[in-house]
């Protein structure tokens, strides 16, 4: 697989609903970090974890399908409107993709 091939994962919510997430690009990851970090006058950085998780989902969710999504399109507003337990399931799948390369992937 080339460096620029988009990596995706399907997250199964239940028997009828799924979400496809993708690995962020370097620029997208930096954007997520920037939006979730504030640097004070003393140059100390504060990371807002909730904002970081939300921004990750806004960038990572590619599509969803199933009756639970009620025909709504994938938008930051609709992602933010999901119940926390569903968003947490999606975030767990997205987090798996964002991790570094596994040892066998490094050798490939």
User: What residue ranges do the domains of the chain occupy?
Assistant: 8-101
The reported pTM is 0.84
Question: Whole-angstrom distance between the N-terminal and C-terminal Cα of the chain?
Answer: 9
CA-CA distance, 30 to 26, in Å (whole number)? 6
pLDDT of 102 above 60: no
Do residues 13 and 67 make contact, with C-beta atoms less than 8 angstroms apart? Answer: no
Read off the pLDDT of each residue in 84-94 and give the average, rounded to a whole number. 96
pLDDT of 7 above 80: yes
Report helix, strand or coil for 108. Answer: coil
**What is the structure's pLDDT at 101?**
56
Higher pLDDT, 71 or 108: 71
């Amino acid at each position: 697989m080339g460096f620029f091939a988009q990596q995706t994962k399907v997250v199964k919510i239940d028997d009828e609903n799924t979400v496809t997430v993708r690995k962020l690009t370097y620029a997208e990851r930096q954007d997520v970090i920037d939006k979730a970090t504030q640097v004070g006058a003393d140059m100390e950085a504060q990371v807002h974890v909730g904002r970081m998780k939300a921004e990750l989902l806004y960038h990572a969710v590619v599509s969803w399908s199933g009756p639970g999504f009620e025909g709504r399109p994938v938008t930051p507003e609709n992602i933010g409107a999901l119940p926390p337990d569903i968003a947490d399931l999606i975030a767990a799948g997205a987090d798996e993709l964002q991790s570094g390369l596994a040892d066998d992937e490094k050798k490939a």
